[in-house]
Amino acid sequence: MTVILAPTPVTVADAPQLPFLVRFRLKGTPWIPILILLLIIVAAMGGESIAPHDPNGLDLGAAFRPPFWQAGGSYDYLLGTDNLGRDVLSRIIAGARVSAIVVLYAIGFSGAIGTMLGIMAGYFGGIVDMIIVRITEIMMAIPTLALALIFTATMDPGLSTVIIVIVLTYWTWYARIIRSEILSLRERDYVAFAKVAGCGPVTIFLRHLVPNIFNTLVVLMTLQVGQVIIFEASLSFLGVGIQPPDTSWGLMLADARQYITYAWWGITMPGIAIILTCLSSNLIGDWLRDLLDPKRRQL
Amino acid sequence: MRIVFAKGLLNALISMLGASLIIFIMSRLSGDPLSLLLPMDAPQSAVQAMRHELGLDRPMWDQYLIFLWKAVQGDFGRSYRWQMPAIELVFERLPATIYLAMAAFAFSLALAIPLGVLSAVRRGSWIDQIARIIAMLGQAVPSFWVGLLLILVFAVNLQWLPAFGADGVQHVILPAIALGWYPVAAQTRVIRSGMLEVLDSDYIRMGRAVGTPERLLIWKYAFRNALLPLVTIMGVYFAYMLSGSFVVETVFAWPGLGRTVVEAVFARDYPVVQAGVLITSILFVLSNFLVDLSYSIIDPRIRL
């Protein structure tokens, strides 16, 4: 007697996922944004050592020099100087470092906290879910900048306060999206099997859930870069973010604002740095989303 | 319907309570508010008396309930700087902020509706490309930088419009553009995808088949239905306007709530900061509640 086994239908979803790098297609890769972002990363890593001038070096004799292509400008100061004769390009390079630090820490922590809570809410459900969802709703009831202002009103402003504020406001974003992802993942058979096989929650989280939300996380984090940079710039612009003698793009804009009538480059150059960084990371994020996570095209 | 309303209201109330708790905790992180109220060399007995009078010697939980009870009655304490009750100052400045937010909203819709509709009707045309570029830039350009650039071009170089103050209609134009800039992207996208969906439906094809004029078809039959998704994001963008007003009002020296709160932060004028942030949060929660409610009225298929 022969037993005829029904052929197991193979669907696309069952096909083994190729590793991240193999699936990297060259076609449609946003090379220009990648190049811009790489340049900014190099600037951030090099910092003062690659800046043509000391970003805090005062030289009142060289104040308000225009960029090199304008009359009165020189190749010494490619993007001109500010009211105290500090080189705008060097300050942009120094500001890239601050932005990079804020982005790394803020996204790292808010991503980790939000993901953890999102997994817990989605996986355990019930009262845990209710509490976490309620907290995210409450956090979202306070406009982000208002939350940041009340926080900086009571803490000393500075780099670490900026990072804490961003983490406090952005973890909810991860928590909500990861939670909804987990809600569908936890119903999958392999999670049920793992549970039956006696795996504890930690094993299930790390071995079965985290790998499945990895793509979503990468996309979310890339898309958050631009938002964090704008948020940091806004705080610094208001004077509650990065404090002198540190420099940041938002702070440069705040300084240059008073001299807007004499020096147009003072407000345009740092702004262009912000826009290029945000635009590049958003475009890369969109591309990654299409590449890794076709379900989320509407995100 | 009544249940929907009650449920939404309960949620809104819980959110407001939570927001007040967070604001309370955050403003107590600073340590002792007494150091601001008393001179440095005040005798110990005076410190104790003041502490008792303000209720600072009670447990935190008690203090929060007192804060909440007073807040419900509108008592946030007096502004150190303006010598008036903080809540009065907040309500005095609020209308200017709402006026600016409305103007910004009008600007963003005036740009987003034609862009969204036309880019859906003429898919792939140059207007679709422009809409795409605006959507891309909208999320990458900070509103305060738009403000600075507008001042540079229209106030400093061309001298068409004033950069500061709030005396007349011409003063609201630049801040409204700066504040309304960001939502244009999302609104255009929502209108475009809504239009695409509606234009594809049977009744539009039917209308086209019986020879209804294209203009009537687009603006009367399709556009009205495409407006629905726009309502859902209205609440989000009203909230964004409240948040964005902190920066934009500072750039343009607009005499609204946002700038008042920012100034209060620097003056360490805590009652004003607390009152301003709490009122902003309440407005935020209420607007979301109203949007949810109106959505379930407009579209009975959606339930809260």
pLDDT digits (tens), chain A, 299 positions: 445 555 444 444 444 455 555 455 555 678 888 898 898 888 888 877 777 777 777 777 777 777 877 777 777 777 778 777 788 888 888 888 889 999 999 999 999 999 999 998 988 888 988 899 888 888 877 878 888 888 777 777 888 888 998 998 889 989 988 898 888 888 888 888 888 888 888 888 888 888 888 888 888 888 889 889 999 998 888 888 888 888 888 888 888 888 888 788 888 888 899 999 999 998 888 888 777 765 554 44
Structural domain total, chain A: 1
The residues near B77 (Cβ < 8 Å, ≥ 6 apart) are B85, B86, B270, B271
- The answer as to whether A161 is a domain residue is yes
Which residues, numbered 146 to 175 in chain A, qualify as contacts with chain B under a Cβ-Cβ cut-off of 8 Å? 146-147, 149-155
Return the axis-axis angle of helices B126-138 and A264-292, rounded to nearest 10°. 100
Fold of B86-303: MetI-like fold (1.10.3720)
Domain ranges of chain B: 86-303
- The answer as to whether A4 is a domain residue is no
Can you tell me the distance from the alpha carbon of B286 to that of B13, in angstroms, rounded to the nearest whole number?
9
A297 to chain B, any CB pair closer than 8 A? The answer is no
Which residues, numbered 242 to 261 in chain A, qualify as contacts with chain B under a Cβ-Cβ cut-off of 8 Å? 253, 257, 260-261
Given an 8 Å threshold on Cβ–Cβ distance, is B27 in contact with A154?
yes
Given an 8 Å threshold on Cβ–Cβ distance, is A238 in contact with B262?
yes
Do B264 and B276 form a contact (C-beta atoms < 8 A)? yes
Residues of A in contact with B21 (CB under 8 A): 138
Count, in order, helices (H) and strands (E) of chain B: 13, 0
Query: Would you call B51 exposed, middle or buried from its count of C-beta atoms within 10 A (0-12, 13-18, 19+)?
Result: middle
Residues of B in contact with A225 (CB under 8 A): none
A-B CB pairs within 8 A amount to: 140
Q: 3-state class of A81 per DSSP?
A: strand
Q: Predicted ipTM? A: 0.81
Residue A99: which domain range? Answer: 43-56+63-296
Query: Would you call A30 exposed, middle or buried from its count of C-beta atoms within 10 A (0-12, 13-18, 19+)?
Result: middle
Reply yes or no: is the peptide bond before residue A245 cis, omega within 30 of 0. yes
CATH number of the domain that A154 lies in?
1.10.3720.10
- The answer as to whether A20 is a domain residue is no
